[in-house]
A and B are shown apart, each in its own frame.
Chain A
Amino acid sequence: MITLQAALTGALIGGLYALMAAGMSVTWGVLRVINLAHFGLILLGGYLTYQLATSWRLDPILTLVVTVPALFVLGGALQWAYDRLRIVEFNSLLVSFGLLIITIQLASDVWSADFRRMSPADNRYATGSLNLGRIAVPTATLVAFVAAVLLVGGGHLLLHRTFTGRGMRAFAQDRTVAAAFGIDHRRLGVLLGGAAGASGAVAGMIFALGNSITPSTPYDWFGTVFAVVILGGIGNLLGTLVAGIGIGVLSGLVSVIWSPSTEPFVLFLAIILALLLRPRGLFARAGVA
Chain B
Amino acid sequence: MNARRGVAVLVAVTVVFGVLGRASNAIGLPAYDVLLAGTILFWMTQATSWNLLSGFAGYFSFGQGAYIAVGAYTTAVYFGRHGGNVFLAIPIGGLLGGILAAAVGAVAFRLRSLRGEIFALLTLAVPFILAAYARITNWVDGGQGTTIRLPRVPAWMGSFQQMVFLLNLGLAALAVGVALVVYHTRLGHGLAAIHDAEAAAEVLGVPTFRYKMVAIVLGGVLSGLSGAVFALQIGFVAVESLFTLTLPLTAIVISVLGGRRHWLGPVIGALLIVTLQDRLSAGGLENWSAIILGGLLAALVVLAPHGLFGRLRARWWLALAVLVVVTAGMTASGYYDQIDALLYGMLAAVVVATIADTLRPRKPAAVSRPPDGPLEATPLEAVVPQPRSAGTATEPGVLVSCDGVTRYFGGVKALDDVSFTVGHSEIVGLVGPNGSGKTTLVNLLSGAMQPTRGRIAISGQPIAGLPAHRVAHAGVARTYQLPKPFASMTVRDNVAMAVMFGRTPAPLHAARQAAERHLATVRLSHLADALPDALNLHQRQLLEMARATAADPTVLLLDEALAGLNPAEIDDAVTVIRRIHATGISIIIVEHLLRVLNQLATRIVVLDRGTLIADGDPMTVLNDPAVVRAYLGRQRA
Contacts and interface: CB of A to CB of B under 8 A. Distances in A.
B505 to A, nearest CB: 32
B281 to A, nearest CB: 14
Contact of B287 (A85, A105, A216, A267): A105
A257 B246 CA distance: 35
B292 to A, nearest CB: 9
Contacts of A104: 245, 290
Contacts of A268: 125, 129
B294 A98 contact: yes
A106 interface: yes
A93 B305 contact: no
Contacts of B128: 219-220, 222-223, 264
A108 B120 CA distance: 25
Contacts of B417: none
Contacts of A216: 240, 244
Given A94-B60, A216-B244, A279 B111 contact: yes
B127 to A, nearest CB: 9
B287 to A, nearest CB: 6
B132 interface: yes
B125 A101 contact: no
Nearest to A95: B298
A217 B378 CA distance: 70
A137 interface: no
Contacts of A150: none
A95 B297 contact: yes
A265 B246 contact: no
Given A85-B302, A91-B301, A222-B124, A101 B410 contact: no
Contact of A95 (B132, B290, B301): B301
B448 to A, nearest CB: 14
A261 B132 CA distance: 8
A226 B124 contact: yes
Interface residues of B, number: 47
Given A95-B297, A264-B132, A287-B411, A226 B121 contact: yes
Interface in A230-289: 230, 260-261, 263-265, 267-268, 271-272, 275-276, 279-280, 286-288
A279 B294 contact: no
A271 B107 CA distance: 11
A223 B240 CA distance: 17
Contacts of B244: 216, 219
A40 to B, nearest CB: 10
A230 B118 contact: yes
B302 A93 contact: no
B409 A276 contact: no
A34 interface: yes
Chain A interface bracket (under 10, 10 to 19, 20 to 34, 35 or more): 35 or more
Contacts of A56: none
A264 B302 CA distance: 35
Interface in A55-102: 85, 87, 89-91, 93-95, 97-102
B377 interface: no
A102 B291 contact: yes
Nearest to A108: B287
Nearest to B414: A288
Contact of A101 (B112, B124, B249, B287): B249
Contact of B295 (A98, A260, A272): A98
B116 interface: yes
The majority secondary structure among interface residues of chain A is: helix
B301 A264 contact: no
A222 B111 CA distance: 20
Contact of B297 (A98, A108, A226, A260): A98
Given A102-B291, A261-B137, A87 B410 contact: no
Given A220-B128, A222-B124, A99 B294 contact: yes
Contacts of A174: none
A119 B298 CA distance: 37
B501 interface: no
The majority secondary structure among interface residues of chain B is: helix
B246 A89 contact: no
Contact of B110 (A95, A108, A230, A276): A276
A93 B118 contact: no
B619 interface: no
B506 interface: no
B411 A97 contact: no
Contacts of B121: 34, 93, 226, 230
Nearest to B245: A101
B302 A98 contact: no
Contact of A102 (B107, B294, B305, B409): B294
Contacts of B131: 219
B293 interface: yes
Contact of B302 (A34, A95, A220, A227): A95
B290 A102 contact: yes
A124 to B, nearest CB: 32
Most buried by B among A94, A104, A106, A280: A94
A105 B117 contact: no
A2 B121 CA distance: 34
Given A226-B121, A287-B409, A287-B411, A101 B129 contact: no
B623 interface: no
B412 interface: yes
Contacts of B112: 279
B290 A101 contact: yes
B218 interface: no
Contacts of A288: 409-410, 412, 414
Given A223-B128, A226-B125, A90 B291 contact: no
Contacts of A276: 107, 110-111
A93 B117 contact: yes
Contacts of A227: 125
A220 B128 CA distance: 7
B62 interface: yes
Contacts of B297: 94-95, 97-98, 101
Interface string B104-119: 0001001111001110
Contacts of B62: 97
Contacts of B78: none
A216 B113 CA distance: 31
B136 interface: yes
A98 B295 CA distance: 6
A87 B300 CA distance: 12
Given A93-B121, A95-B301, A222-B124, 15 more contacts: A97-B297, A98-B297, A105-B290, A105-B291, A106-B291, A219-B243, A222-B125, A223-B125, A223-B128, A226-B121, A226-B125, A264-B133, A279-B113, A286-B411, A287-B412
5 contacts: A91-B305, A97-B252, A99-B294, A105-B294, A287-B410
The 9 closest A-B pairs by CB, nearest first: A286-B410, A101-B294, A98-B297, A98-B298, A98-B294, A279-B113, A102-B294, A264-B132, A105-B290
